[in-house]
Amino acid sequence: MSETRRLRLAPWLATLALVAVWEIGCRVFAVEEFLLPTPSASLAPLWEYAGAIWHNAVFTLWVTLLGFALAVVFGLLLGVATGASRLAYAALYPMLIGFNSIPKVAIVPILVIWSGIGAVPGVLTAFLISFFPIVVNVATGIATLEPELEDVLRSLGPRRRDILLKVGLPRAMPYFFASLKVAVTLAFVGSVISETIAGNRGIGYLMVQASSSFRTLLVFAGLLTVAAMGIGMYALFAWLEQRMTGWAFRGQQPIG
Amino acid sequence: MALIEAERVALRYGGPAGTLALEDFSLTVEPGEFVALVGPSGCGKSSFLKVVSGLHPVSAGSARLHDAPIAGPQHGIGMAFQNATLLPWRTTLENVLLPLEVSRDHRATFRRKRAEHEARAMALLRTVGLAEFRDHAPFQLSGGMQQRANLCRPLVHEPEILLLDEPFAALDAFTREELWGVLQDLWTQRRFTVLLVTHDLREAVFLADRIHAVSRRPGRIVKTRAVDLPRPRTLATTFEPAFVDIVHELRDEISRVRQA
């Protein structure tokens, strides 16, 4: 089997292996279904409750992507500011670290007080949890310009805007796209947290409802749905990263 | 009138208690000259390039360009370093055009004169033998080819002065000697003024009209040697007794400096 084919199959095989261990473990040790259902049993409610799961999953996806979109805009702006200006970096960085250290679970009740139950707290939590890695990556990409290149540029007497547009930003793009993959999965964490604490729709809400009536199978079906959406979005942004910044990946292409 | 005039220049990094990189450094360069600075590593050779380009102000003494004190980044200077700092997302041609896009003197008219600029860049690429690689990305070029492009970039806005900081140090011996010829061709065609910093004595003797040996830190010029070998110099020149004599003479001086 060729190296490329093995690499392509590896994630599927690893996932299958995990599922097999889980399935066999549950059967061998006769784990009660309301504690840990087998993966095959968890697939059943995906059919049974397909309507409800679809309805709530689409809602969660929208909430997540909306929060994520805010994070991209805001993160890019803040990243460029802190990466290009040492003053902005000094002024804003401690504050950003502070914000990032606050558990987002603790913020949801405040968001609910401000905006009521619904989509808004989910969007804001997804935004708050996912913008930090974008800021840090964009700032790093811009701030780590090689000193020699900086000298070459400075001796030409350019405007700061030109350096930023022609060198700083393109240079930061691989960092930016790498952070998008991480940030989009974090955004799911944010929206689902918000829905479990204070929601009236979405996968998180569905799972809380299911668990309060001991329908463990449905809870697991919800978890699988979130995981699948996370992987899907990650794959989308990984593909986008390859397309937009292929020049940064030349070392990873198979040789020969 | 001299183009570059440095008189008793001192350069100190990081405040009054910082490292003294240059002290009592005096040097005059005439237009069109090819001048090399050689010396042990860390002797402040590169610091002098920063003074000339206006990237670092002198701490004492005076540095003048066209009889005006050097204050801040100067017009008409091109720079190239040991690492080819080509931008990986641009093609060879786009990399060579970068100075015209961002420089104070050309950015306003860059779009309008695009064809003219490209012709200029292509003329340079032809001289260094990269014409057919104009649309290749830097990572598709070998190290030697990247350094060739890196030599074209600072020349595209036709600067008066080219500052080179060990431009060939990262290359293998064969490629390096090949690029000496390339640089000599560029210089013979265009007659800009060159200030070359290197620790390769054969490189300095091959390329320069005049060589200055620099002392250990703080850097000072301890010996000046004119190179009157006929041009164009070829690899055969490097085996002639006159060439070898100059290299030996400089080597003796540098080892004396290092032990002092």
Q: Render B191-223 in DSSP notation, one character per residue.
A: --EEEEEES-HHHHHHH-SEEEEE-SSSB-EEE
Q: Each residue of A135-168: pLDDT tens digit?
A: 999 999 998 888 888 888 888 878 888 888 889 9
pLDDT of residue B250: 92
Q: Each residue of A185-212: pLDDT tens digit?
A: 999 999 999 999 988 899 999 999 999 9
Query: A55 and A19 in one domain?
Result: no
Query: A98 and A205 in one domain?
Result: yes
Closest-CA distance, B241 to chain A, in angstroms, reads 37
Q: Each residue of A51-82: pLDDT tens digit?
A: 999 999 999 999 999 999 999 999 999 999 99
Higher pLDDT, B80 or B257: B80
- Asked if A154 and B55 come within 8 Å (Cβ–Cβ), the reply is yes
Q: What is the CATH number of the domain that holds A164?
A: 1.10.3720.10
Query: A21 and A64 in one domain?
Result: no
Whether A39 is covered by a domain: the verdict is no
Whether A90 is covered by a domain: the verdict is yes
Query: A159 and A99 in one domain?
Result: yes
Whether A10 is covered by a domain: the verdict is yes
Count: domains in chain A: 2
A–B: how many Cβ contacts below 8 A?
66
Whether A256 is covered by a domain: the verdict is no
Query: A27 and A54 in one domain?
Result: no
Query: A244 and A183 in one domain?
Result: yes
Q: Which residue among B53, B101, B154 sits closest to A166, beta carbon to beta carbon?
A: B101
- Asked if A170 and B53 come within 8 Å (Cβ–Cβ), the reply is no
Q: Each residue of B183-206: pLDDT tens digit?
A: 999 999 989 999 999 989 999 999
DSSP one-letter code for B68: E
Is some CB atom of chain B closer than 8 A to the CB atom of A146? yes
Query: A5 and A79 in one domain?
Result: no
The H or E element containing residue B12 is: strand B4-13
Query: A214 and A133 in one domain?
Result: yes
d(CA A144, CA A89): 13
Whether A37 is covered by a domain: the verdict is no
Whether A254 is covered by a domain: the verdict is no
Whether A137 is covered by a domain: the verdict is yes
Query: A110 and A168 in one domain?
Result: yes
**pTM of the prediction?**
0.81
Residue A122 near residue A191 (C-beta atoms within 8 A): yes
Whether A78 is covered by a domain: the verdict is yes
Range of the domain at A50: 44-249
Query: A153 and A99 in one domain?
Result: yes
> For an interface test with A, which of B53, B83, B85, B100 has the most A Cβ atoms less than 10 Å from its Cβ?
B85
- Asked if A163 and B102 come within 8 Å (Cβ–Cβ), the reply is yes
Query: A132 and A184 in one domain?
Result: yes
Query: A70 and A12 in one domain?
Result: no
- Asked if A153 and B88 come within 8 Å (Cβ–Cβ), the reply is no
ipTM over 0.85: no
Residue A161 near residue A171 (C-beta atoms within 8 A): no
